Structure 1
């Protein structure tokens, strides 16, 4: 639903409605006993019997699902309220004392208040030199709206980067160019520790290749995001968790790696520390990726009144240097007030060189011929900086009010120099292309969270203020003056402001084994595009009401089912809006479309999971959308140029199955992760209806053998089918293999890893086919597929509990690149 409304007309009545709603709910539930239970107790020293304040008390279900966490007051007391009749585990931990576990059965209690009395903790006087784990830690966990993959529980993570490990995460896969996909879709959002990172998304593949997986805790795939998340990202959200739970003390990880013939040296590190009220968590590193010379070819056949054949032969090589750094800071002012901040940075520098010979023939013979050399450079950096203030209340510590601010910026420069030779019937002079691109974003957010009996209520307001700009120049070589001169007709300066104002209200209801999360989000989008060189503008306003609901059921056999429905939005990012025309290949022009409009997706999901000795996680997914922004390819017979851009011309629907199966026996663990989906895709190209329907699938079979003396061996086998490249194209499938080893030299401290990818295939032949009215074209390139790697991993430090983190914060996930 799209309406033209001013933000003020939306948010004032909405804020009043939310306030009235919250007040009524608090009154209603407060007046109802609802049969809920309360557990109380007091923690004290076993010797002098003095109360212990600031002691962590956790309440869990009998299957170890964390329900709530409390910190004892000055008198050592704690309490948990709003509990249904069931059995619970109460775990107690304090620095310098031995931990304690109590089992509480409320089903046999005749009183609504369970008094545990005084619980005494004794000093911990012995040090454990070694811990023996009797059961494997589950790698995959399912919740109502997400699924989690524990990288620390996977030994293969010690020798791979984060991008490679994504093949094993449920719902995720990599295409033939190592682009990350969620449910087979490239439209999703990425967060770090629950917070957005525009700097990461701007250079996602390169940064994920640079991060050692050993520095990451886990990956969360949020397939049905609640209403508190922005509606952007058609397939969902990927949340990368880097921070560790620590108390006074520190720990860290250092990883050094080398790979070839593609890739190169890399280093990564993570560090976490806490001293009193202060805490810090940081990770960073960098890598150099060399891609030696490979070769490509392109063939275009056109029909019509004057059929032609374009044949191109070329080569390319590149060097990519990437660095990243991220940190989170925490200061616990007191038990009710928490201040946190975050800072992320990544930078990259790319140098590439390509050459090409091009021949155009018609029915009468040779029409055009040329060759060129293209030297390109690209530099960029991105920064995120934010601060969050969280305030709790004495009467109800789980009632939270959070204020957040985040600033993000990206700067990217692209330069290309094209030098022509051997020209026949081709008079385009040498040229230079320069594009200076900027992105700035300010985000302001207020969130309120309150538990009322069995219901957790969330509400919030948010404003995102964005500014994108692109200043691109095209300079032609003037042989008379022997210098490059600006061509105003092929240059432009472009700015785009995109402001998003939103509000949300959601409810999470826990009813014994049932969990319901339902809510609605409203978003007003105000867009203004300005072409400074031509003095023209393009304005667009959108209003969207976005519902979300997920229902889950836990069974006694540790299995669960979930059902969800959500609407998602994809707003075009600067890469799709930018009208900059890339003419580095004179017969192919690639440009954005500043008039693109957002796309709305409707998604229905059904999931099932059980995690025992045999783990099974399945998900069915059906989605549909109209007005889809797709890549459109047209051929101009007058200029003999293929023009590639984006347009809101398509509609699609898909039905898919995602699966993750695992089995452990002794020292052997095997898992199968993958998806299969049938896609119906249709649209209009130059007045002609085009369809591109196909079945897609991908799967990875992973085998792990844990041997004596710290050895672990891995063997992975992956298969990917062909996949679409927009409305008019598709690329071929491939088979991927990897063999790795991991040797723990000093237990839990130092290890070495190594491996080989695709040992039986040196090159992968990538074939992209594109079709359209009056033309067909095939582009082929041989990419290095075989590579070798070795890495060293060192862990240091010692920890006891966790850094304080605000529970609510900014999560921008509303722009597609």
Structure 2
């Protein structure tokens, strides 16, 4: 903590010294901020020419990320500013610097109007920019994509650069499943347990945009190997109110869903809320596993099962802000979510050696799940009268979620198998408290940020294993294989970032210091594990802007992955008697180095493409080992591997005509992984790719047709591969009331009723293939309604708590 304190004080003193030096300057200064006249959003990289005569340019500047610009060291006299921006009307402003005591001329907000050409009719046809490249992130505008009226946020992820969906609809970021999802720049409990249920129930029409933060700066916590996905639910608001509502139905596999947002502002008081719910009923599917072992006594295990499931999910997010005065702002946030699931399966199992049946049984399983989460935060933001872009923020957040899984298993038709019926319960709870202080100090083209943060986490698990008494039928807990587990993880960190904008260049760099203290306690067996980790995490991004809003970005970042409760929890899942799965409380953090070069260009075609290389060490892999004595395959997690991943991505949006548009989102990578499995070195490699092609055609009278094709290549992991996947969809939507009320429908995978999803696992003495036939074809209908009108932007806390360091999902 001493290092962090010294670093922060040194940077703050540097800021003060530079600020004092500026104030002592005897010249005149001109300052202003450029914003869009309609949306009031700050405009960056707008050219500002300082002119002494109509044709003589004395100095030139570019507006920064917050829209600000400045000229210093000027003599008294008459000047003019010529402001020029692509797609905006040029503007000239006269400025008089009189020989008086007023040394700084504040021009305030300077609005620029979009450059729109009027036709004979008042009709403007334009292609809204869907994908935007910034210095450390790529933004996808869902409101500019007509399919947002048809699909959920989860389904739209396949069109976002660097994101894709695998065969199980898990999100992959740069091919990696370890990332963090934020809501409006802040973590939320609704994304901690099972993001798929929430995003599947969240209509894309209620979301403004999705940000893929490829090179997270130092102000973000260091964890999440691939990066950060930030989902923005609302745009800047005005006096008044607005909102949206979506109602949908998916069948035969799926169910009804609804969701929406509402925002309002009255003077200094503003609120925004979003919420939704859905009911998911999956038709029965067929699955199973085949395992072939080698050695002196080879065996073949074949299991086949039929699985049906139901789930219910709901979520609600609320944010409120109050402007005490022009310099002070208070913002509070509250998110609630919950889900219930019910899974029933019937399985047959046969273990053979040659033609001899060694073992067999029928297994009936009923698994009930119940999860809930809550998070609340309070932010106080103070800006300074001399420069309102100087910000001091104090933040506190509390987050908790729980997940209880209870399974009851009944065995019949036993052949050489004496295990009684049994029940297992796993009750997990996670709680987190965070305190954070951030300070932002802009100095002309420079911006310095420093911050201190403390995170206190508490993971708890109570897992019970009980067998049925052969006489009474009552379930009796088995203490030797039951346990209570508690894991505390405290993270103390500090950061400093520096940002610089000069003409067409931008730089953002930083360093983050983190110390992690872990204390794991196996309460039932009186055993403890203690560890401490210290990490220095650098990051840097350089951006070069060209004409027509094109640009080149080079970014490097280092990230770490601290294992979450799902990977640490030593609970042994015995829901399949021949396969056991458990966590590993001895896991260490994994480390990744990632470098990415990205080009973005806009014109008739919107193009984003990039080259990257990722290197991972101490990577947390699931490790499967076969025990020939018990005929059980046991899977746990270990810091067993390294991985190298050169990759390339291309995202293209091209209007063939004014009515016909085509977009391609693709990523190709060559994965090379290796690690120890049961003391044997295993290597695996292969080409991985994801290609999503979408085309839409705008018909007369506000009808629109869309077709999608998605190609997923094989997935590569330490011990095996997953199969490839081809999917398709067709949709139609119509605006019944322009930009207000729309109806939409789609058919997914009309050419195939089922699809096979398979994964192969290889070990030194076994080969295993898990397969599942999922219902593939589905139909969706939805209604979308937008309402309200706004006039003046709501203020939100510009800084807040972002705990983006725990692996998402299970």
The alpha carbon displacement at 1:800 in A equals: 1.6
Q: Does 1:777 align with 2:780?
A: no
Give the structure 1 partner of residue 117 of structure 2: none
In the alignment, what sits opposite 2:11?
Answer: 18
Partner of residue 513 from structure 1, selected from 496, 504, 523: 504
Residues 219 and 109 of structure 1, relative CA distance in 2, 3 Å threshold = farther
Q: CA deviation at 1:393?
A: 0.9
1-structure distance, mates of 2:800, 2:71: 25
Secondary structure in structure 2 of the residue aligned to 1:804: coil
TM-score (norm 1): 0.90
Aligned match for 1:325, one of 299, 302, 316: 316
Q: How far apart in 2 are the matches of 1:727 and 1:719? A: 23
Q: Aligned residue for 1:96?
A: none
Q: Which runs of 5+ in 1 are unaligned?
A: 1-7, 43-54, 71-78, 92-99, 122-129
2:215 paired residue number: 224
Whether the aligned pair in 2 keeps the contact of 1:36 and 1:81 (CA below 8 Å) is no
Measured after TM superposition, the shift of residue 14 of structure 1 is 3.4
Equivalence for 1:81: 70
Could you tell me how far apart the structure 2 residues matched to 1:550 and 1:643 are? 43
Residue 346 of structure 1 deviates from its aligned partner by 1.2
Is 1:319–1:351's contact at 8 Å kept on the other side of the alignment?
yes
Aligned equivalents of 2:214, 2:94: Cα separation in 1: 34
Instruction: Report deviation, 1:595.
Output: 0.5
Distance in 2 (alpha carbons) for counterparts of 1:391 and 1:225? 25
Query: Shift of the alpha carbon at 1:376?
Result: 0.5
Q: What is the rounded CA distance, in whole Å, between the counterparts of 1:40 and 1:616 in structure 2?
A: 32
Q: Tell me the TM-score normalized by structure 2.
A: 0.91
- C-alpha displacement of 1:38: 1.9
Contact map agreement 1:341 1:386 (CA 8 A) in 2? yes
Structure 2, unaligned runs of 5 or more: 49-61, 74-79, 113-120
Instruction: Specify the alignment match of 2:202 in structure 1.
Output: 211
Q: In structure 2, what is the equivalent of residue 97 of structure 1? A: none
Deviation at 1:406, TM superposition (A): 0.7
Q: Secondary structure at the match of 1:16?
A: helix
Show the counterpart of 2:241: 250
The C-alpha deviation readout for 1:79-129, integer Å capped at 9, x for no partner, is 9536899953699xxxxxxxx9772489999999778799999xxxxxxxx
Q: Map Cα deviations across residues 663-689 of structure 1 (whole Å, 9 max, x no partner).
A: 112101111001000011000011111
Query: 2-side partners of 1:355 and 1:651: how far apart?
Result: 38
- Measured after TM superposition, the shift of residue 19 of structure 1 is 3.2
Which position in structure 1 is the counterpart of 2:76?
none
Give the corresponding residue for 1:46.
Answer: none
- Root-mean-square deviation (CA, aligned residues, Å) is 2.8
Q: Aligned residue for 1:543?
A: 534
- 1:373 aligns to what SS in structure 2? strand
Q: 1:101–1:113: structure 2 CA closer, same or farther, 3 Å change rule? A: farther
* CA distance in 1 between partners of 2:757 and 2:111 (Å): 67
- 2:109 and 2:175 map into 1 onto residues whose CA distance is 55
Distance 1:513 1:423, change over 3 A: same
- Which digits, 9 at most, give the CA deviation of each residue in 1:402-461, with x for residues without a partner? 000111000111000000000111111000000111000001000000111210110000
Does 2:227 match 1:240?
Answer: no
* Contact 1:87 1:107 (C-alpha < 8 Å) held by counterparts: no
Q: State the distance in 2 between where 1:640 and 1:41 align.
A: 70
Cα deviation digits, residues 510-545 of structure 1 (max 9, x gap):
001000001100000000000001100011100000
Deviation, 1:199, is 2.8
Q: Is the 8 A contact 2:720 2:762 kept in 1?
A: yes
Distance 1:60 1:187 in 2: 32
* 1:56/1:69 contact within 8 Å kept: no
The residue correspondences of 1:143-162 to structure 2 (distance < 5 A) are 143-162=134-153
| 2:126 alignment partner, one of 129, 135, 138 | 135
| Counterparts of 2:302 and 2:72, CA distance in 1 | 72
Write the deviation string for residues 190-242 of structure 1: whole angstroms up to 9, x where unpaired.
Answer: 10001111332312001000000000000000000111111111111000000
Cα displacement (A) at 1:37? 5.7
Which residue pairs with 1:484 in the alignment?
A: 475
Superposition pairs of residues 631-670 of structure 1, within 5 angstroms: 631-664=622-655, 665-670=657-662
Cα distance change, pair 116–489 in 1 and its aligned pair in 2 (3 A): closer
Q: Distance in 2 between matches of 1:41 and 1:136?
A: 27
1:802 corresponds to which of 759, 776, 793: 793
Tell me, what secondary structure is at the counterpart of 1:692? strand
2:334 to 334, 337, 343: 343
Higher deviation after alignment, 82-91 or 606-615: 82-91
1:784 shift after superposition: 0.8
Q: Cα–Cα, structure 1 residues 550 and 662, in superposed 2: closer, same or farther, change >3 Å? A: same
Q: How does 1:374-773 map to 2 (within 5 A)?
A: 374-664=365-655, 665-724=657-716, 726-773=717-764
> Is 2:91 the partner of 1:103?
yes
Q: Report how many residues are paired.
A: 772
Structure 1 pair 106–174 and aligned structure 2 pair: CA distance change class (3 A): farther
Q: Which residue of 2 aligns with 1:49?
A: none
Q: Residue 290 in 1 paired to residue 290 in 2?
A: no
After superposition, the Cα gap between the structure-2 partners of 1:273 and 1:660, relative to the gap in structure 1 and judged at 3 Å, is same
